[in-house]
Amino acid sequence: MKILGRPPVRRTLEALAAVGFGLLAALPEPGLPTLLLLGGAAVAVGLWPRGVRAGLGGLAVLVVLSVARAIWLDGHWLYLADELPSALLRAGVPWLIAVSLRLYVSLGRRAEQDREHRRRRRVAELKQQVAADRLALAQSLHDDLGHSLSLVALNLGRLEVDPTLPQAARDSLSGARSELARAVERLGDSVVGLRAGAPLAPSHAESADALIHRARTAGARISVRGLPEGRRLADFGGERVVRILQEAITNASRHAPGAAIAIDAADRGRELRIRVTNGIPPRSPEIHTSGTGLADLGREIRATGGGFEAMPSGDEFVLTAVLRADGAPEGRSAEREDRHRETVSDGSAADGTKRTQRRVLIAAAAVIVCGLATAESISVVQKSNALLSPEAFADIEVGDARDDVVRFLPGQELPFRRGESRPPDCHHYAVTANSFDDAAGDVYQICFARGVVSSVDHIAGETR
């Protein structure tokens, strides 16, 4: 159900807040309790989400009341120049500071919301891109790799029944064809998962012992020393350990076929060190590969706080990996890279927000400084128009004719302060126009009676 009349209620609240703020700010010569109350009201109005219009309305009420009081009650417009700037500063400075603080916080929250919106949009775009890549990869695997593996299996099957081959060779070909059939089956499952968008099953779900046994059965000469059992390997990410061994064995079998492979592991409590070595043949076979398996594996292990190195050392190729027991799960590397990209891409937006926040604070400070400068300028102009030089004051003596003295006096005099009582026909003139002078606020008082000077006094500002 829609509540009727809400905008008028809000406008009424704004009007009441503006009038109350303006009336409180217009109180003449406020004491400490009034100043504290005014400061609290100004801060409350400034922190209010609709406080900009309410505050400006309150300052407008203050100006109107000050003009009316100066003209109709005090009877002299100079009171307006004397009291309005200080009243505007008393009410405007805390209000403006509160408004700036609210805008500063609001800009920060808005920037955070913008970053979250961009992050969600980026995630959606990445998901769409990943979906397209999965479909393209599935099509490529099905059309190219699947067809090639099928032809290899067909040739192996033809050789398996070739009567000219010895039985041992046919048995080896039968085992190879079985391994190839299982690989094709796993490839088919992967293609189905890629097309459906379902999570892919881990390609190295077997244990480390099963992997080594299968490699030995295929003819690899592998020696193992110090490798922990399966439960302990799970503390270091069992699938990652299997992947390290699989990459090392595949790399050695591909580039150094027939070479002995030595796997040495050392469990040091919080970390597991794995070292896999194999000899380097005098002439490596020419095999074209992407070369990204070891590189991707190294990046993944380093991203989880571990270490990885794979390079020739003398006449051996050495792969060394260090896994930590509290290592992050697989996929954390991509997550960290996404966060890094998000931070970098949001850098310009964050810089823009900070610049806007600085501009708000600078604008608030500029308004305050301009207000103080305006008040000081008005005060200086007022005092300068009523300034009597010390030399001229020293030349005026009691008994001098009024007509002679008037020629030395300024064209204007200082107006009465509110509540001030002066003797009849006495006039006040400024001693100095500099507000930072020790004599600021002091006045020269010259009184006349019967056409001559009756008294000449220098009155300190605190005694007026």
What's residue 457's pLDDT? 92
Please name the helix (run of DSSP H) or strand (run of DSSP E) that holds residue 310, with its range, or none. Answer: strand 307-313
**Nearest one of 149, 142, 301 to 237, comparing CA atoms:** 301
Instruction: Say whether pLDDT at 285 is over 60.
Output: no
* Dihedral, 387, 393, 397, 401 alpha carbons, nearest 10: -40
Distance (Å, whole) CA 373 – CA 62? 19
Q: Which of 4-18, 38-52, 145-159 has the highest mean pLDDT?
A: 38-52
Residue span of the structural domain in which 447 resides: 386-463
CATH code, domain carrying 303: 3.30.565.10
Distance (Å, whole) CA 14 – CA 8? 10
pLDDT tens for 390-442 read 998 998 999 999 988 988 899 888 877 666 778 888 999 999 888 777 787 78
What's residue 353's pLDDT? 62
Distance (Å, whole) CA 272 – CA 305? 12
CATH code, domain carrying 426: 3.30.1450
CB neighbourhood size of 317 (10 A): 22
| Residue 207 located in a structural domain | no
Instruction: Say whether pLDDT at 151 is over 80.
Output: no
Percent residues over pLDDT 70 in the chain: 78
**Nearest one of 285, 197, 190, 274 to 240, comparing CA atoms:** 274
One domain, residues 369 and 391 = no
pLDDT tens for 210-261 read 888 888 887 788 999 999 988 888 888 888 898 899 888 888 877 787 789 9
One domain, residues 315 and 400 = no
Judge contact between 322 and 271, C-beta under 8 A. Answer: yes
Looking at 344, 374, 404, which one is the last position of a domain? 374
Instruction: Say whether pLDDT at 177 is over 80.
Output: no
